[in-house]
Amino acid sequence: MHPVRFELAASDGFARTGVAHTAQGSYRTPCFMPVGTRGAIKYLSAADYERLGAEIVLGNTYHLMLRPGAETVAHFGGLGKFSAWGGLTLTDSGGFQVFSLEPKVDDDGVTFKSTYDGSLHRFTPEIAVRTQELLGADIQMVLDVCPPLPSRPEVVRLAVERTSMWAARARVAHQRTDQALFGIVQGGIDEALRVESAQRTVALDFDGYGIGGLSVGETRHEMLPALAAALAHLPADRPRYLMGVGDPASLVEAVGLGVDQFDCVMQTRIGRHGTALTGEGKLHVKNAKHALDDGPLDAQCACEVCARHSRGYIRHLFQVGEPTAARLVSLHNVSWTLQLMDRMKAAINNGCFQSLRSDVLAVWG
């Protein structure tokens, strides 16, 4: 039996709602997973995640293995207990760092330079599995190669080959039956490569499937056909995870194609610089026009920040360099995104997803 079982609740076109059951608990889909790179979502705590209604939080294997070290996290009982988070956890493999840090990559694995002290570290598919078993997340991802876009065809082809080869090795290395292992589909924006990568990954019979290598330089117009090509070959009884995507337009478009879960750092990255997500688009709260504005960040938002604080107050906090400002807008952005996912669930369940999609794209498209 697989550690993750997907139970379909409703569908509207390709969009679907359901429940994914893991060995340690369940999560409702479609879902957004806030990113806690080093064991915490920036400016937030586990108590915040619970209050906001998050069900899964993502951690970064690369950063956690360097600081504090996977063995240290294991000593505390795994990432969830270490961070006092009672929900589910997912760890990425370090594959995104193959994209962002440009390490030395060969057929066997990757050699990273630490962003903390410059020391060199070897990472292979087997080491990625063992490290994530120590981190103890409920779901771990295989090590993959994520090429930037645009890339030459031979670069994307090599990424598919290595990702497939590494996935097979990870499948063999994985030992923890209480921890799910997701494979990853690559292929850039080449639809044929996406199909091939999906088929090769599915043949290895993973607990769920990530679609990687998107939102790395291509336009949404280029991303969606490649995403659809991969999704058409992923099994309906396993979760489908679009990695690193979290802007509202892409979320609603991807859910419409059948994606179940997402993660993104955007919510807190733009939040700490004063940009709020709202039903009318991005709000730059540091702008002078908000100095005397007594309205909330978003009048339609149900979060605690919008219930309590004005735009004028939050702008003042940014103006004087008060760290609370970054915390408040980050809280709002995570909550706003989780509320959007809830709206999508309700729309799918009620058979009116296309109406919601149109509304979101009218603002964010």
Residues taking part in catalysis: 92, 263
**Per residue, what are the HEC states of the chain?**
CCCCEEEEEEEECCEEEEEEECCCCEEEECEEEEECCCCCCCCCCHHHHHHHCCCEEEEEHHHHHHCCCHHHHHHCCCHHHHCCCCCEEEEECCHHHHHHCCCEECCCCEEEECCCCCCEEEECHHHHHHHHHHHCCCEEECCCCCCCCCCCHHHHHHHHHHHHHHHHHHHHHCCCCCCEEEEEECCCCCHHHHHHHHHHHHCCCCCEEEECCCCCCCCHHHHHHHHHHHHCCCCCCCCEEECCCCCHHHHHHHHHHCCCEEEECHHHHHHCCCEEEECCEEEECCCHHHCCCCCCCCCCCCCHHHHHCCHHHHHHHHHCCCCHHHHHHHHHHHHHHHHHHHHHHHHHHCCCHHHHHHHHHHHHC
